[in-house]
Amino acid sequence: MNNRYLSIILYLLFSSIAFPFTLDAKEIKIEGEVIDEKKESLIGVSISNGNFKSYTISDENGNFSIMVALKDTIVFSYIGYEKKHIIITEDLVEKYIIVELKPNAAFLNEVIVSAPEPMSSNFSTIKLDQMAIYLNPVADGDALKAITLLPSSTTIDESASPSLRGSDANRSVVLINGVPIQNPVKYSEVNGTGSFSLFSTEIIKDEMVYASNPPIIYGKASGGAIGIETVDEIKTNNFQLSTQLAGTSIFFNQKISNRIFIQLLGNLQYSDLYTKLNSNVPLIDNFKTEDIGANIVMNMKSHKVKTYIYAIDEGYTGTDNSYNFEGKTDYGNRRLFIVNNYKKLLKNGVISIDNLIDLNKQTYKFGIINYESKYTQYYGNINYRHSLNKNFSIISGVNFDYTDNSLKGDVPLKYYSLRENASIYNMDTNNSLKNLEYYLYSKWDINNKFSLSGGIRYNFIKRENKNNISTQISSKYNLTNDQSLLLGIGKYYNYSLFDPFSADYYLLKSSQFTLDYIFTKKDNYFSAALYHKREDGTENILNDLYSTTNTKNNIFGLELFYETYFSNYFKLSLGYTYIYNKFIIDDKEYKKSNHLPYLLKISLNYNNYKVLNIALTYITRGGTYYTPIVDTKFDDKEDVYYPIRGSYNSDRYANYNNLSLNINKIFFVKKHTITPFFSLNNLLNIKNQKQKVYENDYTKSKFFYYSPISVYFGVMLKFGY
C-alpha cells in the first residue's frame, strides 16, 4: 500500500486519540434501571449527559451507574425506542431511578443538517439499520451479505455481490452517501464464499434496498439499487478489537469536538487457521487482506461535511477450473477510493455536492493467463432539493462520471486452451467511458392516502447516435393504516463493467413494472410483490473469455415474505420467490441460469441478551441451469480437445440446500462489552453443485461444490472511554 496514504491514516489515528478528555469537577453518582413498556430490562442502552463527557451502557439486568453534575441532562438512547431526557435535580441524588423507554418506529436524529431523503416511500424498499445488519443470521456483520435473506435478493453464488429480482449484479448499483461504488466487494477467497463488502458496518447508519425501479436520482442502475448512508453522529468514544478465525480488526470512534468526529478502521485477514480447521473447504490455498479506512464527519450549524477514505491490499491463491483445464490461480488487488459529501441547508431546501476518486490495480494468473488491469474513476454530483410545501418536493441535479480502464498481458488465443505452451495473445487494451447526466425528480403527497412521484434522467453524451433518457413513475396508496400498495413503472439505462476482450462498455437497457403490497401490524409484517422486467444488452452467456451475445431477457417474478415476533424473544421469517427468467437469441428462447421455480428462505431467531442469541437459517432453491458439453473435436495445432456445446442452459445442477447456525453472547462489563460468536455453515454438509468440470478429452466429468460444512468463530471486544 502506498506509504503516503498509510501515513495520512496513521496521522489521523494518533492525532485524534490525543485529544484530552475532561470531567466536571463536581460530580454525583446516579444509579438506576432501564426498562421497556413491558417492564422488562433493556440491555445495552446508551446513557450519557448532554455533552457526552460521561457515558455508560445498561448491563444485562438493565442497571446503570453514571457520574454527572447537578443540572446535567442525562440522555437515554436505544435503537427502536424514543430517546428520553432526564434533568438531574437534587431530589434525584442518592435515589435509585427507574427509566422507562417507549417504542418508536421512527428513530429520532439530532443531526443539525439532515441528508435529503431519497423520497423512498413510493418505492419498493427495505431499510436495514446497523443493529439489523449485526443481528442478521447470514450476514456475518456485513452490510451486503445482510441482503441475502430478503425475498428480493436473488444472489445464488454465496457471495456478497448483490443480485436483485433476477437481474445480474452489474445491473444494480451500490452507493455510499449517494456516490456509486464500482466492485463493492472484496474477494479474499478464491471460491467466493468469503466475499465481503468494502464497508465496515460500524460506519453505517442504514442501508436502503431498492429491489427494482430504483430512484431516478441514482444513475448507473437498470436493475436495483442499494443506498448506504454513513453515521451522522457517535454517542461516545470507544475502541473495538475483533479477533476471529481468519483475521483481526480494530476500530476507533473518536469525538474531536461536539460537532466533529472521526472513525478509524484497520483489518487484517489471513487464511492459516481457517484452512487448517476447514481443510475440507475446496479451492483455497491461502488468502490475505490488509485494509484501512477513515470516516470523518463535521456537523456545522447549517452545513455538513463527510469524507470516507478506504484502502485495501488483498490477494489469494487457490485452484480454479475452465472446461477441461484445472490449475492454480493467483489474484492480487490494490485499491484506494475517497468519497466526499457536502450538504448546505438553505431556507427551503438542501444543496448537495458529492465527488469520488477511485484508483484500482489488479493482477491475475491462471494457466497461461497472466495480466494486469487498472481502472480509474472520477465522479461528481451536484443537486438541489427544494420543498415547495410539506406535500411537494423536487430534486434537480447534474452528475459527471468518467471511468478509464486498461488491461495488459497474456491471454489464450483459443478460450479452451489454457495449458502450458498453448498459443497466447498479448493483449493491450484501453478505453474510457464518460457520462454527463441531468436528472429531475419530484414527489407529491396528494392526501393522506395517495402519493405520486416521477422523474427523468438525460445523458448529454450520445451512445449509438442517441441520447439515453431514463424515466420512471411511481405511486403509493394507503389502503388502511396497516396496508399499502406501491406501483412502479420505469425505463432505465446503464453500462456494463469494462470488457477488456472487446475493449468496450456495453449499453444495458431495462423496462420494469412492479406492484407491491405491504401489511404491517404490531409484531407482524407481510409483503407480496409481482414484477416484470424486459432487459436488453450484451452478455457473456457461456462464461468464457470471448463469447458475448446480444440478448433480450424476460423476467417475471413473485415474492412472498412474512415475519413475526413471538414469545418476547423469538423471530420467524419466511420468504418465497419465484423467478421466470428467459432470454431470446435469434428469435429462440432459452432459460437463464437463475430461472428458478422456487427460492425459499427460512430463519428462526432467539434473541435474549441475558442468555444467548441463536439463529437457524435454511435456504433452498431449484438448481441453476448451465450449457452442457455434448461432443468434442481435436485441435491439432493446439494439441487439445475443444468442446462442442449443446443448447444454451439445457441442463441443470441439483437443487441447493443450506442450513446454517449462528450463536453469539454479549457480556457487559461496565462501559465495555465482550461478544464471542460462533457459526456453522452448511450444517448438514450437503454437496451443493457449483460447476461441472471435465477431464482432458471431455469423456469424464465431475463437480466442484459450494462450501461444505465449515466452522467460524471469534470474539469482539468493545471498550468505552
DSSP for 612-653, please give it.
-EEEEEEEEEPPPEEPPEEEEEEETTTTEEEEEE-STT-EEP
168 has a pLDDT exceeding 80? yes
At residue 438, the pLDDT reads 97
Q: Say which residues have a Cβ less than 8 Å from residue 69's Cβ, sequence separation at least 6.
A: 24, 26, 27, 28, 49, 88
The arithmetic mean of pLDDT across residues 457-462, rounded, is 94
Q: Which residues pair with 715 in a beta bridge?
A: 243, 676
Per-residue pLDDT, averaged over 11-35, amounts to: 56
Q: What are the CA-CA distances from residue 208 to residues 68, 133, 169 (Å)?
A: 38, 12, 17
Cα distance between residue 461 and residue 233, in whole Å: 39
Q: Is the pLDDT of residue 90 over 90?
A: no
- More confident position, 682 or 275: 682
Sheet (strand 173-176) strand order: 125-129, 204-210, 225-230, 173-176, 179-180
Q: 447 CB contacts (<8 Å, ≥6 apart)?
A: none
pLDDT in tens, 499-526: 888 888 999 999 999 999 999 988 899 9
Q: Which three cell numbers stand for residue 472?
A: 420512471
Band of the pLDDT at 26, cuts 50, 70, 90? low
Cell 448506504 sits at which residue? 228
Residue 317 to residue 270: CA distance in whole angstroms: 12
Instruction: Give yes or no for residue 80 having a pLDDT over 90.
Output: no
- Tens of pLDDT, residue by residue over 512-568, are 999 999 999 888 999 999 999 999 998 877 667 677 788 899 999 999 999 999 988
Say which range, 90-104, 165-179, 320-334, has the weakest mean pLDDT.
90-104
Which of 175-179, 270-274, 542-546, 594-598 has the lowest average pLDDT? 542-546
Burial of 247: CB neighbours in 10 Å, binned 0-12, 13-18, 19+: buried
As given in the structure block, the three cell numbers for residue 392 are 411537494
- The residue that leads in pLDDT, 17 or 368, is 368
Question: In the predicted model, what is the mean pLDDT of the chain?
Answer: 86
Tens digits of residue pLDDT in 420-440: 889 999 999 999 999 999 999
Q: Who has greater pLDDT, 685 or 300? A: 685
Q: pLDDT band at residue 497, thresholds of 50, 70 and 90?
A: confident
* Alpha-carbon gap, residue 35 to 501, rounded angstroms: 62
Give the pLDDT band (50/70/90) at residue 50: low
pLDDT score of 137: 76
Q: What pLDDT, on the 0 to 100 scale, is given for residue 295? A: 96
Q: Give the pLDDT mean for 243-262.
A: 91
Backbone φ, ψ for residue 37 (5° rounding): -70, -15
pLDDT at 668: 85
At 24 the pLDDT is 38
pLDDT confidence of 639, banded at 50, 70, 90? Answer: very high
pLDDT of 279 reads 72
Task: Domain 120-720: give its CATH code.
Answer: 2.40.170.20
pLDDT greater than 90 at residue 154:
yes
* DSSP per-residue codes, 37-60: TTS-B-SS-EEEETTSSSEEE--T
What pLDDT was estimated at residue 322? 86
Q: Could you give phi then psi for residue 470, rounded to 5 degrees? A: -95, 140
Angle subtended at Cα 499 by Cα 497 and Cα 505, rounded to the nearest 5 degrees = 60
pLDDT at 191 over 90: no
Question: Can you tell me the mean pLDDT for 652-669?
Answer: 93
- How much is the pLDDT for 83? 84
pLDDT in tens, 335-353: 999 999 999 988 778 999 9
Phi, psi (degrees; rounded to nearest 5) at 224: -140, -170
pLDDT band at 43 (very low <50, low <70, confident <90, very high): confident
Please check whether residue 296 is in contact with residue 306, taking contact to mean a CB–CB distance below 8 angstroms. yes
- Give residues with Cβ within 8 angstroms of 648, minimum separation 6: 541, 583, 585, 590, 591, 627
pLDDT band at 112 (very low <50, low <70, confident <90, very high): very low
* pLDDT exceeds cutoff 80 at 236: yes
Least confident segment among 6-10, 15-19, 358-362, 701-705:
15-19
How far is Cα 283 from Cα 288, in angstroms, rounded to an integer? 15
pLDDT at 663 > cutoff 80? yes
pLDDT the model gives residue 217: 92
Instruction: Indicate the SS3 state at residue 218.
Output: coil
CATH homologous superfamily, domain 3-100: Carboxypeptidase-like, regulatory domain (2.60.40.1120)
- Per-residue pLDDT, averaged over 710-715, amounts to 88
Q: Residue 61: pLDDT above 80?
A: no
- The CA-CA-CA angle for residues 307, 310, 314, to 5°, reads 175
How close are the terminal C-alpha atoms of the chain, in Å? 31
Domain(s) labelled CATH 2.40.170.20 in the chain stretch across: 120-720
Residue 104 — pLDDT band, cuts 50, 70, 90?
Answer: low
The percent of residues above 70 in pLDDT, for the chain, comes to 90
Spell out a b/e string for 164-174, using b for 16 or more CB atoms within 10 Å of the CB, else e. bbbbbbbbbbb
Domain with CATH 2.60.40.1120 in the chain: 3-100
pLDDT of residue 650: 95
In terms of residues, how long is the chain? Answer: 721
pLDDT at res. 682: 93
For residues 21 and 474, what is the distance between their CA atoms, to the nearest angstrom?
Answer: 51
β strands within 567-608, DSSP E: 570-585, 588-591, 596-607
Do residues 673 and 718 make contact, with C-beta atoms less than 8 angstroms apart? Answer: yes
Are the C-beta atoms of 172 and 165 separated by less than 8 Å?
no
Q: If DSSP codes are grouped into helix, strand and coil, which group holds residue 256?
A: coil
